[in-house]
Chain A
Amino acid sequence: MDIMKQIEENIIAGKFKETEGLVKTALEQGKSPNEIITDALSKGIDEVGRRFKCDEYFLPEVMTCARAMSTALATLKPHFTTEKKTTIGTFLIGTVEGDLHDIGKNIVSMMMEASGFTVYDLGIDVKPEVFIREIREKSPDLVGISALLTMTMPAQRDTIKAIEAAGLRDKVKILVGGAPIDQRWADEIGADGYAEDAVECVEKSKVLLGLGR
């Protein structure tokens, strides 16, 4: 079987050791990191997203696949220096002030990274001024604001207001997520999008950046 197809299938199967070996072989065969990402890794992770959406895959499978993907990307990293940057967009993410939950946010980070975004994870309990400072510093295309509790949902609104007041609102697209969040809330607080899970976050991000699907 074609090496690219093999890599794709190992991503879909979530086999990170095998994927790593195959990526090395592909490099030895003269494939470029960009080719490997476009023709093998992205195809694999897109298929993982599709399976998750139609209930064929569940969260742990998505996580094992994202791990295979990050292992592959880490293997490719040293080879990027000679090539152009391959990121499809930059994504800044954090859990709002007063909320210390990070499992969902971490899974979103993993999937975004696996799907080709450069991710800056600000961690948990992130104050609006930290979001603002980091937006100024990193100039991300997208900002993800996470809140797990009904009690910390208002902090999403406060963070968006603060970004607005700092004059940065039109510089970034804002996505919100977290267990109690829905589209209605996202609309109410003026976010650009709401994602129910990590896979949807990738899709919505691509749409917001005009990258299609």
Chain B
Amino acid sequence: MKPRERFLKAIRREEADRVPQLVRPGKEVSQRLSGIFGVSGHELGIRIGNDAIVCQVGINAIMEMAKADLKEGETFTSEWGVVYQRQSGFDNPIEHPLKTREDLKTYVFPDPNAPRRLDEVREVMKKYHKRYGVIVDLSSSLFEPSMAHLRGMENFLMDCYDDPAWAGSLLDGLADYYSQLGTRAIEAGVDVVRIGDDIGVQTGMLIPQDLWRELVRPRMKRMIQTFKKANKEIVILYHSCGDFSPVIPDLIEIGVEFLSTMQPVGKMDLARIKKEFGDRVAFKGGLDTQQLLPNGSPQQVREGVKDIIKTLAPGGGYVFMPAHMLYQDVPTENIWAMLEAVKDYGRYPLKF
């Protein structure tokens, strides 16, 4: 079975020959694995057994993927006007373009239709789509970029209370931008559109679910409707870190059919979620990256992979992935143990 077929079956909640895999190494792990395999970028993902490819085109791409040669403490400014600084290997936003709410009046969003913006997507489609699934990643999409990139966390969280209409107009600007960008990617033929918007923390939602329903949900719904208009078969993937379980029913209502990252924290009881929503959504992620992968033994990692497959993969509807990218705290032997366990335990029919 071709990787793409396996991936598509899984996201349509059918059992393929085995559980497909999409493991995403962060910057340092990419370098480590490239040193071993002699390949990098998308080729590296394929080499470690991935069945799909992710093209990051959203505001986070700048933060997570670019500037490999930046040194600790160095900064750069993105086309959104955000200043990032390399801190402990991550490029973190340290200066935000919307210093006051007034600044939004004159703020110019980047052009979603800029000619070269989707070059990578088109290239990936040409080179890999026959064999591999392709996800276009619009992270971060609405709430998260407002908070983390454009306005600053403390400012935006308070804006939502002080001036919700203003917060709404910033979210509208982002929804417009991503609606167009996502539509262009769908026209290029991608299989999945990934909306990423962190609203969860370790213990529960970062913001009250009512606030999310009032401010974020209608804009996300509008984006999804636009995408479905461009291709009614398009699968919408939604990602949030942390516990976002209170809004899973909302996400399903507005057209999300694929959920990631399924971090096992707070009230994210994965068995319950699979049981309750597994007939309407597929899942990706779930393997703990906070304790198990960095601090566990290879044997514990194997057990962890087995558990997660046992919980989320029955009946299809699961793409294996750790609950986040792999960062520099994960030992190489745990990566091998994880990849091996996916092959050992992920074959359908599952035997447990």
Contact = CB atoms under 8 A, between A and B. Distances in A.
A121 interface: no
Contacts of A57: 208
Most B C-beta atoms less than 10 A away, residue of A14, A57, A99, A180: A180
B154 interface: yes
B48 interface: no
Nearest to B89: A151
B154 A61 contact: no
A64 B161 contact: yes
B267 to A, nearest CB: 10
Contacts of B153: 103
Interface in A43-65: 55, 57-61, 63-64
A58 B208 contact: yes
Interface in A150-171: 150-152
A60 B329 contact: no
Nearest to B152: A103
B63 interface: no
A64 B205 contact: no
Interface string A62-95: 0110010000000000000000000000000000
A100 interface: yes
Given A149-B88, A151-B328, A60 B161 contact: yes
A196 interface: yes
Contacts of B207: 58-60
A152 B88 contact: yes
B329 A59 contact: no
Interface in B234-283: none
Contacts, number: 58
Interface string B157-177: 110111000000000000000
A179 B263 CA distance: 14
Interface string B201-229: 11111111001000000000000000000
Contact of A14 (B87, B161, B203, B294): B161
Interface residues of A, number: 24
The main secondary structure of chain A at its interface with chain B is loop
A99 B89 CA distance: 11
Given A99-B88, A151-B88, A180-B290, A59 B158 contact: no
A179 B161 contact: no
A42 interface: no
B180 interface: no
A12 to B, nearest CB: 13
B92 interface: yes
B202 A179 contact: yes
A6 interface: no
21 contacts: A58-B204, A58-B211, A59-B157, A59-B201, A59-B206, A60-B206, A60-B208, A60-B211, A61-B208, A64-B158, A67-B158, A100-B92, A106-B154, A149-B329, A150-B290, A150-B295, A150-B329, A152-B88, A180-B290, A196-B202, A197-B203
The 7 closest A-B pairs by CB, nearest first: A60-B157, A100-B87, A150-B329, A58-B208, A64-B161, A103-B153, A58-B207
Given A100-B88, A196-B203, 17 more contacts: A55-B204, A58-B205, A58-B208, A58-B211, A59-B206, A59-B207, A60-B160, A60-B211, A63-B154, A64-B158, A64-B161, A64-B162, A67-B158, A99-B88, A149-B88, A151-B328, A152-B88
